[in-house]
A and B are shown apart, each in its own frame.
Chain A
């Protein structure tokens, strides 16, 4: 299922560049703000929703998932080095599953660790667990979606940004119907249920969230495998 060589190359492609360090301020900002709020003596009721919900699940998780999820395959497509991977006698499904596993792991750890720390600052280990599960669910759904996007279009990041900013950010607050297709809402609902907390409030019911998150993950993966099977190699175009 998972090819260790491809996993190693993918991880090195992500971490081996200086640009990955540019992502580091995001998790640090999360912990720093939680510490600051706690030090100022504000109750978690006041800061948990904006920091954990607004910043963590609303901004840091999708942005990191976007950069990682489109980066694992997209950078190789841009470079044209994907040919070397495709030329090896490996099933395409194995390539996708490996890339997806790396993307999920990196995203879940990069976002999950600061979220758990912030959850512990906010109160309980239970909340921390809930946030960790939420991050894991989000990492799966977002990574599969963005991995599929990087194979469907030449500009996956811009489309992903439209999804995160316009669909989840703007329309999710205006039109209630769009929430049914918003990963951010699934993540919040699952985290609130597992963490057994009133600090976060999901607007989509938990069973729907779980089912839809699975649909996004499986659907994205299958679409990515299908697109990679008939992938045509081309250089960077305008």
Chain B
């Protein structure tokens, strides 16, 4: 004798709007951007990103103050290059935060069970990191620009200031693109945040002396091409080519460096996509 009864307790299908792939990408991007600066996280997570931003802003304030007393110390384009070390540290803190936690927590299958595709995930994270690095350079640049505008006189001078400022934003964008794509690729290979941070810095720190070695032992042409050996000097040499930065002799190899930046970013993005095609099957 069976006494089992199935009650209708009112389960229903969801019939509301489904927000889809574009919404998921936008959310992931925005969330990534907030994560990079530790917004919406504990105070501990904010210390590091905001310390680097604070130091960059402090450098900008000092430069503006010095400039108000006399001649400008450096152009806007040179600023991004001279604080590149802090951009590296920012990347070392933010990139593992963006991708390594998801790898370690094993939550990628949850992301990929949504309309979000694997490439979307990787590109949204990359876009978030690139924007974050750019913002962390462009914010202090804007500070310098405002200070500069108030220390010059006449509309013509202000227009010149704007013409100086735009290359600065451009150089910041190049720095952001190269540093973020490289560091996100490295971070996506390591599940532990600590290891990922050390590896990111290792890529930049270890390749920098190689440039010095090549300059020391190479011929004249090798000397002008030696800056290809390290991502940070490639960025700087591209700035020398595009925005007339000082301090590097690259001869007529400017386009080579421009090409190197494009190739480096493209290679990093492709490798990142390959990495996310295979991870967490």
Q: Which A residues contact B (CB, under 8 angstroms)? A: 19, 22, 26, 29, 33, 36-37, 40, 42, 46-47, 50-51, 54-55, 58-60, 63, 66-67, 70-71, 74-75, 78, 154-158, 160-162, 164-166, 169-170, 237-238
Among residues 160 to 195 in chain B, which have CB atoms less than 8 Å away from a CB atom of chain A? 189-190, 192-195
Residues of A within 8 A of B205 (CB): 58-59, 63, 164-165, 169
* B209 engages A58 (CB within 8 Å): yes
- Indicate whether B88 reaches chain A with its CB closer than 8 angstroms: yes
B129 within 8 A of A: no
Q: Kindly report which residue of chain B lies nearest to residue A162, judged by CB atoms.
A: B89
List CB contacts (< 8 Å) of B208-249 with chain A: 208-210, 212-213, 216-218
Q: Complex: how many Å from CA A21 to CA B79?
A: 36
What are the residues of chain B within 8 A of A63 when measuring CB–CB? 198, 201-202, 205-206
Report Cα–Cα, A160/B48, bound state, in Å. Answer: 13
Q: Please name the residue on chain B nearest to A40 by beta carbon.
A: B217
Complex partner residue of A66 from B42, B44, B198, B218, CB under 8 angstroms: B198
Q: Given the complex of chains A and B, what is the CA–CA distance between A228 and B202 in angstroms?
A: 29
Judge whether B209 and A55 touch: CB under 8 Å.
Answer: yes
- Supply 6 further A-B pairs (C-beta < 8 A) apart from A19-B192, A63-B201, A155-B44: A22-B199, A37-B213, A55-B210, A58-B205, A59-B208, A78-B194
B41, A238: Cβ atoms under 8 Å?
yes
Check if B213 sits within 8 Å of A55, measured CB to CB.
Answer: yes
Is B198 within 8 A of A165, CB to CB?
no
Given A42-B216, A50-B212: A26 touches B197 (CB 8 Å cut-off): no
The reply on B123 being an interface residue by CB < 8 A is: no
Least CB distance, A14 to chain B, in whole angstroms: 11
Q: Which of A37, A40, A46, A238 has a CB less than 8 Å from the CB of B44?
A: A238
Inter-chain contacts of B208 with A (CB < 8 A): 59
Known pairs A37-B213, A157-B198; A60 contacts B206 (CB<8 A): yes
Type the 1/0 row for B24-51, where 1 means its CB is closer than 8 Å to any CB of A.
0000000000000000011011001000
List the 4 closest A-B pairs by CB distance, nearest first.
A54-B209, A42-B217, A55-B209, A157-B194
Chain A neighbourhood of B44, CB < 8 A: 154-155, 237-238
**Are A29's CB and B190's CB within 8 A?**
no
Choose one: B48, B85, B201, B209; the contact of A50 (CB below 8 Å): B209
Interface SS of chain A: helix
How far does the alpha carbon of A5 sit from the alpha carbon of B161 in the complex, in Å?
66
A50 and B206 contact, CB distance less than 8 A:
no
The smallest C-beta distance from A174 to any residue of chain B, in angstroms, reads 12
Q: Which residues of B contact A155 (CB under 8 A)?
A: 44, 48, 194
B48 engages A161 (CB within 8 Å): no
Would A46 and B217 be within 8 Å (CB), given that A54-B212, A63-B198, A166-B85 are in contact? yes
Out of B85, B92, B189, B193, name the residue touching A169 (CB < 8 Å).
Answer: B85
**Closest residue of A by beta carbon distance from B215:** A50
The answer, yes or no, to whether B93 is at the interface (CB within 8 Å) is yes
A54 to B216: give the CA distance in the assembly, Å.
Answer: 12
Residues on B with C-beta less than 8 A from A55 are 206, 209-210, 213
A74 CB contacts on chain B under 8 angstroms: 194
Pick the contact of B85: A33, A40, A71, A170 (CB < 8 A): A170
Chain A to chain B contacts (Cβ below 8 Å), 18 pairs: A22-B190, A37-B216, A40-B218, A47-B213, A51-B213, A54-B212, A54-B213, A59-B205, A63-B201, A70-B198, A71-B195, A155-B194, A156-B194, A157-B194, A165-B89, A165-B201, A238-B42, A238-B44
B45–A50 touching, CB < 8 Å: no
CA distance A59 to B85 in the complex (A): 14
- Assembly CA distance A154 to B93 (angstroms): 13
Contacts of B197 in A (CB 8 A): 157-158, 161
Residues in chain B near residue A33, CB distance under 8 A:
210, 213
CB distance from B217 to the nearest CB of A (A): 4
Query: In the complex, are the beta carbons of B92 and A158 less than 8 A apart?
Result: yes
CB-CB contacts below 8 Å: B68-109 with A: 85, 88-89, 92-93
Could you tell me if B209 and A59 are in contact, using CB atoms closer than 8 angstroms?
A: yes
- Smallest Cβ distance from A150 to chain B, in angstroms? 9
Is there an interface contact between B202 and A19, defined as CB atoms closer than 8 Å? no
In angstroms, Cα B48 to Cα A19, docked, is: 25
A1 to B266 CA separation, bound complex (whole angstroms): 52
User: Which residues from B are CB-within-8-Å of A78?
Assistant: 192, 194
Give the Cβ gap from B31 to chain A, nearest Cβ, in Å.
14
- For residue B98, give the distance in angstroms from its CB to the closest CB of chain A: 13
